[in-house]
C-alpha cells in the first residue's frame, strides 16, 4: 500500500505544512513550576518534529495567570517568557516541522489553589468535576479576556511560533461560552449562537490586527460534548461555519469535555471514532479540517485523507508511543511502528516507574519523554547476552541490546512470544496489545538478535550457556492461595480461560477476584452470554486499573448484567460456589456451574540462585523480580539494556 496522500503538502492560511501529520496539544508533564518549557520539553517536542510530523502543537499555554489548568501550565501572559519559548520553537524548526501555540484559559475549570483567585466563567456555574464556587465574568472582563488571547498570540509570534490554535474545545473557557450548558448570560456574549460565538469572533479579529493576515489561526472545538444540555454536532458545525466566516484558517475537530465523555479515549473507543464528524464538517466548510481520535494505523490515516473525510490527521498518544511514526510510514517500515494501545498507563497517568522517571511517557516505549537523557548508542564493549523469557520485558531488553551491538539470544519455552502479556490481548477491544509483541520481534530480528522458541532451560542447560551476562525475565504465574477446597473442586484459572486452555461450558459462572484480570475475564465470558458474578474482598473492583479505563469497563459489565459483589472474603471453595465473609457475616454463594480464579500473580524466578553459580552478572527484571504491570517490565528492560 502506498501512503502518498499523507505526504502531500497542505496550506493553513498562507503557511505550507509539509505533510498531513499533526501532533496535537497534550500535557507533557515536563514544564516547570515557573510555567516554562524545560530542556526535557524541547527535546520531547523536537523528537516528534524529527520523526516527521508536519505540525507540532505543544501542550496548552495559558493567556492569563488566572486561567491556568494546572500548577505548571506554560505561560503566554507576559513578555518575560518569550526568550525561553524561542528555544522550543527553534528545536522544532531545526527538525523540519511547523509549530503552533495553543491559546488556552480554563475558565470555570480553574482551581483556586493554582490561580490564587476564585474561578470565573461565562456564568456562575460550577464545573461538575471540581465543584468550586464560580463567579460570572463582567462584560468588561470579557473584553479583557479577548485582549489576553490576542496578546498571547502576539507573544507566540514573537517567540517564533508559526501560528496559533484557539482552544475552544473540551469545556475550557471558550467552549464554556459556546455551550448552553454553561453560558446563561443575558448580554451580547450569551443567548443566540451569534452571541455565544462573539468572543471567539472578536479574538480571531484581534489576532489578525496584532499579528497580521499571514499569521494562521486554527480553532479547536468539540463536535460532541456528551453533556445533557451541551453542544452536539449540529451546534458545533454552526460555530465552525461562523469561524470560517470570521477568518479562521483551519478547524481541529475533537469531542468530549472534562465533565462528559472522554477527552482522552481508552481502548474501548474504536480507532478513528471521531472521523464521522470531520467527514460531515468537510461538506460544510472550505478550510482544512483536522481529525483526531485513536488513529494509530497508517492505512487508516491514509484512507481518511485519501477519501476526503479529513484534510489532516492528529496523532495524539500515537505520537507519544512512536515519535517516528511519519518517517516509518514514509520509509516503508510499517512493522517497526509502535501502535498505541489506548492503555493510558503512562501518557495520561504520568506516574513514573521510579522517582527519576518524570513527565509523559509510554508503557510500550519508555524512551518516550526521555529524549534529553536516554539515547540508544553503540556499546563500548560488545558482549554475549542471554535473555530467559520472551515476555515484554525480556523482548524490550533484547532488541535494545541488539541495536547497541551486543550478541543477543532469547530463550522462550513456548512456541510464541509474549508471556503472560498474551492475556492482555484477548478481552474485547484489546487486540492492539498483541501488535506490541510483533514489533519487539521485528526490531530484534532487524538488529541481529535471535529467539529460540520451544526451549525450556533446565539448571544444567543454564550452566552451559556461553554468555557474558544473563537476564532473567521469566515472568509470573497465577496466584493460587491455599483456600480450603480449592484443590478438589472445579476451579479454573483466568489465564487458562483467556488463552483457550480451558473452556467454560456452564451457563452460570463465578469469577473469584475482581482486579483488572478478573473483570476482563468476566467481560470476555459475557461474549458467550454466560451469567457472570464477580466477587472481590476489596471495596472497589478493578482498583488496579487506570480510572478512565475502569469507568468504561465497569459500565460495560453492568450493562451486560454482571453481578458484582465487593468486600467478599472467600473462606472455602464449595462444589458449586463459595463460603465467604462479608461485612462481618458469613454468606454462601452457590448454584454456579463453573468457577474462575483471578486472584493475581506471583513472581516466577526459578533460575536466579543456580545462575549465580555460573555467571557473575545476573539481572532479574519485570515480573520475575516482582509481579506488576507490564509498564514496569518494559521500563526495566530498556533501562538495563542502556546500562550494559
All three cell numbers of 253: 475537530
In the chain, % of residues over pLDDT 70: 99
Angle ∠(154,157,158) on CA atoms, nearest 5? 90
What is residue 165's predicted lDDT score, i.e. its pLDDT? 99
By DSSP bridging, strand 476-478 and strand 601-603 are antiparallel
Q: Do residues 605 and 626 touch, judged by C-beta distance below 8 A?
A: no
Instruction: With residue 399 as reference, give the H or E element that holds it.
Output: helix 392-403
Q: Do residues 589 and 580 touch, judged by C-beta distance below 8 A?
A: yes
Q: Do residues 533 and 511 touch, judged by C-beta distance below 8 A?
A: yes
Higher-pLDDT residue of 54 and 231 is: 54
Query: What is the distance between the alpha carbons of residues 25 and 56, in angstroms, rounded to a whole number?
Result: 8
What is residue 260's predicted lDDT score, i.e. its pLDDT? 63
Query: What is the distance between the alpha carbons of residues 28 and 346, in angstroms, rounded to a whole number?
Result: 11
Q: Is residue 354 very low, low, confident or very high in pLDDT (cuts 50, 70, 90)?
A: confident
Beta-bridged to residue 291, according to DSSP, are 253, 313
Query: What is the distance between the alpha carbons of residues 43 and 52, in angstroms, rounded to a whole number?
Result: 14
What is residue 350's predicted lDDT score, i.e. its pLDDT? 60
> Among 512-516, 565-569, 610-614, where is mean pLDDT lowest?
610-614
What is residue 349's predicted lDDT score, i.e. its pLDDT? 66
* Cα of 147 vs its chain's centroid, Å: 34
Higher-pLDDT residue of 460 and 412 is: 412
By DSSP bridging, strand 407-411 and strand 450-452 are parallel
By DSSP bridging, strand 10-12 and strand 15-17 are antiparallel
DSSP per residue over 514-552, as a string? -SHHHHHHHHHHHTTT-EEEEE-SSSSTTTTS-HHHHHH
Q: Give catalytic residues, as residue numbers.
A: 172
Q: Do residues 344 and 325 touch, judged by C-beta distance below 8 A?
A: no
Angle ∠(602,604,610) on CA atoms, nearest 5? 145
What is residue 227's predicted lDDT score, i.e. its pLDDT? 83
> Among 70-79, 89-98, 256-265, where is mean pLDDT lowest?
256-265
Give the mean pLDDT of 168-185.
95
pLDDT at 356 over 90: no
Q: Do residues 551 and 567 touch, judged by C-beta distance below 8 A?
A: no
pLDDT at 414 over 70: yes
Provide the whole-model pTM: 0.94
CATH class given for the domain over 384-475+605-643: alpha beta
Query: What is the distance between the alpha carbons of residues 506 and 592, in angstroms, rounded to a whole number?
Result: 8
pLDDT at 322 over 90: yes
**Whole-Å CA distances, 609 to 21, 166, 614, 620, 628:** 51, 60, 10, 11, 22
Q: Do residues 218 and 314 touch, judged by C-beta distance below 8 A?
A: no
Domain 491-599 adopts which CATH fold?
Answer: FAD/NAD(P)-binding domain (3.50.50)
pLDDT at 1 over 90: no
Give the mean pLDDT of 533-554.
92
Residue 588 in 3-state DSSP? strand
- Give the tens place of pLDDT for each residue, 100-156: 999 999 999 999 999 999 999 999 998 877 778 999 999 999 999 999 999 999 999
> Domain limits of the chain?
11-336, 384-475+605-643, 491-599
pLDDT at 157 over 80: yes
Query: What is the distance between the alpha carbons of residues 244 and 247, in angstroms, rounded to a whole number?
Result: 5
Q: Say whether 491-599 and 11-336 share the same fold.
A: no
Query: What is the distance between the alpha carbons of residues 406 and 394, in angstroms, rounded to a whole number?
Result: 15
Query: What is the distance between the alpha carbons of residues 27 and 360, in angstroms, rounded to a whole number?
Result: 8
Give the mean pLDDT of 351-376.
88
* Cα of 547 vs its chain's centroid, Å: 12
As a whole number, the mean pLDDT across the chain is 94
Cβ-based burial of 377 (10 A; exposed 0-12, middle 13-18, buried ≥19): exposed
What is residue 63's predicted lDDT score, i.e. its pLDDT? 98
Q: Do residues 385 and 468 touch, judged by C-beta distance below 8 A?
A: yes
| Cβ within 8 Å of residue 535, ≥6 positions away | 510, 511, 512, 513, 514, 565, 566, 568, 570, 578, 580, 589
Q: Do residues 519 and 534 touch, judged by C-beta distance below 8 A?
A: yes
Q: Do residues 132 and 112 touch, judged by C-beta distance below 8 A?
A: yes
Q: Is residue 465 very low, low, confident or very high in pLDDT (cuts 50, 70, 90)?
A: very high
What is residue 132's predicted lDDT score, i.e. its pLDDT? 85
- Give the tens place of pLDDT for each residue, 242-301: 999 999 999 999 998 877 666 788 899 999 999 999 999 999 999 999 999 999 999 999
pLDDT at 376 over 70: yes
- Give the tens place of pLDDT for each residue, 565-608: 999 999 999 999 999 999 999 999 999 999 999 999 999 999 99
Give the mean pLDDT of 391-410.
98
In CATH, the architecture of 11-336 is Alpha-Beta Barrel (3.20)
**Whole-Å CA distances, 60 to 74, 151, 170, 220:** 7, 16, 12, 11
Region for residue 9 given its phi and psi (left: phi exceeds 0; alpha: psi -120 to 50; beta: otherwise): beta
Q: Do residues 516 and 544 touch, judged by C-beta distance below 8 A?
A: yes
In the chain, % of residues over pLDDT 90: 88
Amino acid at each position: 500500500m502506498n501512503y502518498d496522500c499523507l505526504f502531500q503538502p497542505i496550506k493553513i492560511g498562507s503557511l505550507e505544512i509539509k505533510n498531513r501529520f499533526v501532533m496535537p496539544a497534550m500535557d507533557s508533564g515536563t514544564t516547570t513550576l515557573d510555567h516554562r518549557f524545560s530542556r526535557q520539553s524541547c527535546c520531547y517536542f523536537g523528537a516528534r518534529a524529527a520523526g516527521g510530523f508536519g505540525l507540532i502543537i505543544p501542550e496548552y499555554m495559558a493567556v492569563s495567570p488566572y486561567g491556568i489548568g494546572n500548577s505548571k501550565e506554560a505561560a503566554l501572559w507576559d513578555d518575560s517568557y518569550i526568550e525561553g519559548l524561542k528555544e522550543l520553537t527553534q528545536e522544532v524548526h531545526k527538525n523540519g516541522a511547523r509549530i503552533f501555540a495553543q491559546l488556552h484559559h480554563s475558565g470555570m475549570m480553574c482551581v483556586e489553589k493554582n490561580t490564587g483567585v476564585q474561578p470565573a466563567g461565562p456564568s456562575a456555574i460550577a464545573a461538575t468535576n471540581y465543584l468550586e464556587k464560580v463567579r460570572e465574568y463582567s462584560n468588561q472582563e470579557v473584553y479583557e479576556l479577548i485582549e489576553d488571547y490576542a496578546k498571547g498570540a502576539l507573544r507566540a509570534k514573537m517567540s517564533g511560533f508559526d501560528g496559533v490554535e484557539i482552544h475552544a474545545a473540551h469545556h475550557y473557557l471558550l467552549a464554556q461560552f459556546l455551550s448552553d450548558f454553561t453560558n446563561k448570560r443575558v448580554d451580547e456574549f450569551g443567548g443566540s449562537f451569534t452571541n455565544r460565538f462573539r468572543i471567539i469572533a472578536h479574538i480571531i479579529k484581534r489576532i489578525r490586527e496584532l499579528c497580521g493576515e499571514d499569521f494562521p489561526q486554527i480553532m479547536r472545538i468539540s463536535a460532541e460534548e456528551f453533556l445533557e444540555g451541551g453542544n452536539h454536532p449540529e451546534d458545533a458545525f454552526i460555530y465552525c461555519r461562523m469561524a470560517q466566516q470570521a477568518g479562521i484558517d483551519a478547524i481541529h475537530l475533537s469531542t468530549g469535555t472534562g465533565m462528559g465523555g472522554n477527552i482522552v479515549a481508552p481502548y474501548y473507543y474504536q480507532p478513528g471514532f471521531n472521523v464521522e464528524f470531520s467527514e460531515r464538517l468537510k461538506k460544510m466548510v472550505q478550510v482544512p479540517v483536522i481529525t483526531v481520535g485513536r488513529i494509530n494505523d497508517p492505512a487508516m490515516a491514509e484512507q481518511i485523507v485519501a477519501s476526503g473525510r479529513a484534510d489532516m490527521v492528529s496523532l495524539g498518544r500515537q505520537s507519544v508511543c512512536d515519535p517516528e511514526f511519519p518517517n516509518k510510514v514514509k520509509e516503508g517500515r510499517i512493522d517497526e511502528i509502535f501502535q498505541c494501545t489506548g492503555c493510558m498507563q503512562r501518557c495520561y497517568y504520568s506516574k513514573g516507574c521510579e522517582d527519576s522517571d518524570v513527565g509523559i511517557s509510554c508503557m510500550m516505549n519508555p524512551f518516550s519523554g526521555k529524549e534529553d537523557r536516554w539515547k540508544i548508542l553503540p556499546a563500548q564493549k560488545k558482549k554475549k547476552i542471554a535473555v530467559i523469557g520472551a515476555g515484554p520485558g525480556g523482548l524490550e531488553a533484547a532488541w535494545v541490546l541488539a541495536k547497541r551491538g551486543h550478541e543477543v539470544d532469547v530463550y522462550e519455552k513456548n512456541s510464541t512470544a509474549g508471556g503472560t502479556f498474551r492475556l492482555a490481548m484477548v478481552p474485547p477491544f484489546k487486540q492492539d496489545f498483541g501488535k506490541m509483541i510483533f514489533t519487539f520481534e521485528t526490531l530484534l530480528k532487524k538488529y541481529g538478535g535471535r529467539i529460540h522458541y520451544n526451549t525450556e532451560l533446565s539448571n544444567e542447560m543454564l550452566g552451559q550457556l556461553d554468555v557474558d551476562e544473563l537476564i532473567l525475565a521469566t515472568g509470573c504465574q497465577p496466584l493460587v492461595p491455599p483456600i480450603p477446597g480449592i484443590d478438589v473442586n472445579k476451579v479454573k484459572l483466568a489465564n487458562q480461560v483467556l488463552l483457550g486452555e480451558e473452556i467454560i461450558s456452564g451457563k452460570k459462572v463465578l469469577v473469584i477476584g475482581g482486579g483488572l484480570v478478573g473483570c476482563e475475564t468476566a467481560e470476555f465470558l459475557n461474549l458467550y452470554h454466560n451469567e457472570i458474578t464477580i466477587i472481590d474482598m476489596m471495596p472497589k473492583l478493578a482498583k488496579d486499573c487506570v480510572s478512565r479505563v475502569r469507568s468504561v469497563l465497569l459500565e460495560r459489565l453492568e450493562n451486560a448484567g454482571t453481578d458484582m459483589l465487593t468486600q467478599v472474603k472467600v473462606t472455602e471453595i464449595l462444589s458449586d460456589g463459595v463460603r465467604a465473609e462479608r461485612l462481618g457475616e458469613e454468606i454462601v454463594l452457590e448454584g454456579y456451574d463453573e468457577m474462575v480464579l483471578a486472584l493475581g500473580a506471583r513472581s516466577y524466578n526459578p533460575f536466579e540462585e543456580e545462575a549465580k553459580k555460573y555467571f557473575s552478572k545476573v539481572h532479574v527484571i519485570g515480573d520475575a523480580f516482582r509481579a506488576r504491570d507490564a509498564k514496569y517490565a518494559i521500563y526495566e528492560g530498556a533501562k538495563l539494556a542502556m546500562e550494559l
